[in-house]
Amino acid sequence: MKIIAFLGNPGKKYARNRHNIGFIIGEYFARQHGISCGQKKFNALSGNGKIDGEDICLLFPQAYMNKSGESVIPALNYYGLDVQDLVAVHDEIEFNFGRVEIKFGGGHKGHNGIRSIVQCAASADFHRLRFGVGRPENPEIPIADYVLGNFLPEEMVKIEELLPRIDEMLMDVIKKRD
């Protein structure tokens, strides 16, 4: 079994923020694989299903980003899973907009959601799907304000175009393909 945690902040106010790309990707992924995520467990919205014979739990933490680990770790514990059975999907300011990569392990690079998971799990040994949101063009704009800002309409169009490829990338992790 794998848990895929789509990181973001709860509430309509944050729905199209850069920091919520995890939720945006998760909504698409859940629809594509017919998994309903309306169950309230682990201070998260979750849903379980099978994808190509693999048991999957999709998790949308409902605590704020900096408390993501408080939802993810109880879910891992409930299912008797190790942190290596986790895939966290999140924004990445170090990548230009639209660059998407899978990585295993490593530091949190200042990402508060990943930092929370690493602290709660006492391990960084899990997969991450990192979606580049870039940095603000104006260096005077604080990073927090930038990631809590909404995607531009043209960025949302590009995200829609990238979602099928992202789905394939997540499927590769689920199926343990490299």
Select which of 19, 33, 90, 111 is catalytic: 19
The owner of tokens 């109880």 is 74
Contact 102, 165 (CB under 8 A): no
Q: Is residue 33 among the annotated active site residues?
A: no
Residues taking part in catalysis:
19
